[in-house]
Amino acid sequence: MLQFYYCMKTVSLILLCLFRTHFLSAQQPPNIVLIVSDDHAYQAISAYGNTLANTPHIDRIAKEGVLFKKAYVTNSICGPSRAVLLTGKYSHKNGFKDNENSSFNGAQSSFIKILTTAGYQTAWIGKWHLGSHPQGFSFWQILPGQGQYFNPDFLMMDGSSKRIEGYATNIIEDISEQWLDSRDKSKPFCLVIGHKATHRVWIPDTLDMGRFDSVNFALPNNFYDDYHGREAARVQDMTIAKTMIMGYDLKMFDGEVKEGSVVRMNAAQRKKFDDYYNTVKADLKKRNLSGNALTEWKFQRYLKDYFSTAASLDRNIGRTLDYLDKHDLTKNTIVIYLSDQGFYLGEHGWFDKRFMYEESFRTPMVMRYPGMIKPGSQSNDFVMNLDIAPTLLDAAGIQPPQEIQGRSFLPLLAGKQKAGRDAMYYHYYENGEHSVSPHFGIRTQRYKLIRFYRRTEGWELYDLEKDPAEMNNVYNNGSYKKTTAALKKQLLELTRLYEDEEAEKMLLQQK
């Protein structure tokens, strides 16, 4: 009997230990890998339906997690987007409104600082582009400014600068894996991988040059947009026809090459570059193109380089996923991939971003969180880059501070919350490059109302159900009078909710 008692006691202790181990494992904070690209359009990703692109590794994240079909940004330009990502606050609150006049105040709170304080090891590696050095990270190694595609310089934590031989996308992944190897493995980690790709001037890795030469990209239906009824769109300077530069953008150089990434190439890299692009240039010369034929040639060359540059991006995302698999980190690691904003791939005849029109306002985003997100999910809820900070803090079991303006979307993904936002607020400030007028506005499920100011003055209203390409401004259409009034009221409420006093003042003066 006594033997039976001790036997049962031993079994109970074993079961208790197993329970505690399981409980502690279940409570272990998740690791986080946040991959941020630059100017990668959702319409350039096969998970979003592009049949010409091949992005199997981005697609893998979606297949093993969730594809966000309505992910948006608050301000479609790279530096401000990163500031929003870090702080969970709109540009007017975090102080970084544009790339021309802003410098990020690193003394303010960020989700990284909060995670570091909570015991996470944190790192940002790659493109930073916030005008000041990172603060609150356990480690960082960043590109100065926009950085270079080939043999880039990196700013180090000790104040030095280091040039590393190779292609930027590969190098950023190399450094990320080196940091993961050297981290304190007793602590959870949050790694932000900031890629330069696919930013202008779209120089592919040498092994990807020519990858899409056999592809003929279809012109968007509104490629030859005349911008009727849309003054801000008419006065912009970001068309493939007039703005895209034959040398700088398309590598059809005349005379001495001065583009930074090309100048710093080593002999082997430069030979591959010259061999490829000189062949393209010779073919162009034979064609002797002009007018629309030349514009359409520029469009094809732009997309061939853009998609080839994106190929390396996706390949290195695959390396990140493979690293997590190899080191048994996949099951307890959140992986999010997104771009800092969307991008135009010929829609409206444009490249670049900035406008509140869908192609730049909307961003690709996929997320994997094993055990929390059902594989193969699709989200049709409005989510924003504003929400990344509170979502990651929520996942780590940390209450976001009140100053954060975003909201965690984990309850939406877990089915604990039935509905997300009914409307989104946007505000773009820069009034220089590409001549895009500052503007702010609201997007609901059906409508988009935009107020342009400073460069041009006026309103635009789009019925997205009838006009998804945003070609017909119906602001002055009398049949939308009640809709316009309701949207203006809702827009005013959003400016007050997010404490955008500048926009609120303009709306009140309008009355």
> Is 240 part of a structural domain of the chain?
no
The reported pLDDT for the residue numbered 415 is: 85
Strand order in the sheet with 447-452: 423-428, 439-444, 447-452, 458-463
Give percent above pLDDT 70 in the chain.
95
Question: How many Å apart are CA 476 and CA 483, to the nearest integer?
Answer: 11
Tell me which residue of 126, 152, 149 sits closest to 137, measured CA to CA. 126
Q: What is the mean pLDDT of residues 476-483?
A: 97
Task: Give the domain range for residue 415.
Answer: 32-203+300-421
pLDDT, one tens digit per residue, over 172-228 is: 999 999 999 999 999 999 999 999 999 999 999 999 999 999 999 999 999 999 999
Per-residue model confidence (pLDDT) at position 420: 87
Q: Answer whether residue 322 is part of any domain.
A: yes
419 pLDDT higher than 90: no
Q: Which CA distances in Å does 45 have to 113, 312, 346, 361?
A: 32, 13, 15, 16
Res 11: pLDDT: 40
Instruction: Report pLDDT digits (tens) over 11-34.
Output: 443 433 333 333 334 468 999 999
* Structure confidence by residue, pLDDT tens digits, 426-459: 999 999 999 999 999 999 999 999 999 999 999 9
Say if residues 351 and 206 touch (Cβ distance below 8 Å): no
User: CA–CA separation, 420 vs 378, rounded Å?
Assistant: 14
Average pLDDT estimate for 86-106? 94
User: What was the pLDDT predicted at 150?
Assistant: 98
Distances (CA, A) of 5 to 1, 8, 9, 241: 6, 5, 6, 87
Selected residue with higher pLDDT from 415 and 245: 245
The pLDDT, as a whole number, for residue 511 is: 60
- For the domain that residue 339 is a member of, what is the CATH number? 3.40.720.10
Residue 393 forms part of a structural domain? yes
Total structural domains within the chain: 1
Q: Is residue 260 part of a domain?
A: no
Residue 217 belongs to a domain: no
Integer Cα distance of 143 and 128 in angstroms: 7
Residue 382 belongs to some domain of the structure: yes
Q: How far apart are CA 28 and CA 332, in angstroms?
A: 8
Encoded tokens for 272: 């591959």
Contacts of 191 (CB under 8 A, 6+ apart): 32, 33, 34, 122, 123, 125, 176, 179, 180
Tell me how far the alpha carbon of residue 130 is from its chain's centroid: 15
Taking CA atoms, 259 is separated from 50, 154, 255, 262, in Å, by: 31, 18, 12, 6
Give pLDDT, residue 258.
86
DSSP SS3 for 359: helix
Amino acid, res. 503: A
Split at pLDDT 50, 70, 90, the class of 7 is very low
- Please tell me the predicted confidence (pLDDT) of residue 5: 39
Q: Considering the chain, what percentage of its residues have pLDDT values greater than 90?
A: 89
Q: What band does 347 get if pLDDT is binned at 50, 70 and 90?
A: very high
Q: Give domain status of residue 236, yes or no.
A: no
Q: Does 103 reside within a domain?
A: yes
When the pLDDT of each residue in the chain is averaged and rounded to a whole number, the result is: 93
**Average pLDDT of the segment spanning 502-508:** 96
Among candidate residues 191, 216, 206, the one with its CA nearest the CA of residue 311: 206
Over residues 496-509, the mean pLDDT reads 96
